[in-house]
Amino acid sequence: MTPATGRAPRRDAQRNRERILAAAREVVAERGVAAKMEDVAARAGVGIGTLYRFVPTKDALFGVILREEADRLAVMASDALALPPGESAFHTWMETAAAWQGANRAFINVLAARDPEVPVPQLLSRRLRTHLRDLVKRGQADGDLREDVSASDVLMVLLAVGRIGEGTDGTSPGYAKRFLALQLDALAPGGAPLPGKALTERQLELTLDALAHNRRGSRG
C-alpha cells in the first residue's frame, strides 16, 4: 500500500465527519428535537450507514455538537483575552459570542433534545469556565465591568440577548445589537449594588438545562 492510498481513507473519513457535523448543526438549528438521523445523512450527502459509523445514536451526535459549540465559545474567549492592553476583551467577547449565538441555534436546541430523565451533564467545559472567569477579571480591571458581577451573570446576560434576538428576528433584525448595548451599559461600573447572590457553577448548569427544556415544552 502506498503512502497516498494509506492516507486517503483518513482524508475521506475527515471530510465525511465535517459534512456530517455541518449538516447536523443545520438540521438541529432548524428542527430542534424533531431532527432525525435520516435528515442529517441526507443533508450531509452520506449514507445512513456512514452516519451510524460516525455516531451510533442521535444522542451521541447531539453530544458531539454540544462539545464542539462549547469549545467554539472557549476559543472566542481565548482570542479576546489575547487582545493587547487598551482593547476591550470583555466587550469583544460579548459582541462576538452574541453574533455567534444569533447565527447558531443548534446549541440551545441540543440542550432541549437531552433526555430530561437522565442526570444533568456538565454543559460548560473547564476551559470555558476558566476563560470566562479571566474575562470577568480583565473586564473589571479595564473598567468595563462592575466589581459585583460574576461569570454566571455574564452568561445569563448572553443568553437573554440570544432569546431577545430570536424573538425580534422577524420584526426588527437589528434590535439584538441595541439590546446587547443596553446590557453592556448595565454591566458597567457605577450602578447600585446588585441584590442577592450570583449563581454557583452548578446552579448555572441546572438553570441552562431547565431553560432548554422549557423551550422544548413550549414547542412540543
Query: Within this chain, do residues 94 and 39 fall inside the same structural domain, yes or no?
Result: no
**Final residue in a domain of this structure, among 13, 31, 56:** 56
Q: Same domain, yes or no, for 114 and 215?
A: yes
Same domain, 90 and 155: yes
What is the Cα–Cα distance from 54 to 186, expressed in whole angstroms? 45
Is 73 found in the same domain as 45? no
How many structural domains does the chain have? Answer: 2
pTM of the complete model: 0.77
Range of the domain at 96: 65-219
| Same domain assignment for residues 80 and 170 | yes
Q: What is the pLDDT along the chain (220 residues), one digit of tens a residue?
A: 444 444 555 777 888 888 998 898 888 878 776 788 999 999 999 999 999 988 888 878 877 877 787 788 889 999 999 999 999 999 999 999 998 887 776 666 665 555 555 555 566 778 888 999 999 999 999 999 999 999 999 989 988 898 888 889 889 988 999 999 999 999 999 989 999 999 998 898 888 777 766 655 444 4
Q: Give the domain CATH number at 116.
A: 1.10.357
* Same structural domain, 91 and 114: yes
| Amino acid (1-letter code) at residue 65 | I
| 82 plus 29 within the same structural domain | no
Do 82 and 169 belong to one domain? yes
What own/partner pairs with CB < 8 Å and gap ≥ 24 does 22-31 have?
24/61, 24/64, 24/65, 24/106, 25/65, 25/69, 25/104, 25/106, 26/106, 28/62, 28/65, 28/106, 28/109, 28/110, 28/113, 29/104, 29/105, 29/106, 29/109, 31/109
Query: What is the model's pLDDT at position 111?
Result: 57
Same domain flag for 71 and 14: no
Q: Looking at residue 32, which CATH number applies to its domain?
A: 1.10.10
Tell me the CA distances in angstroms from 132 to 74, 94, 160, one per residue in order. Answer: 8, 11, 17
Task: Say what the pLDDT of residue 184 is.
Answer: 96
Last residue of a domain, one of 56, 75, 101: 56
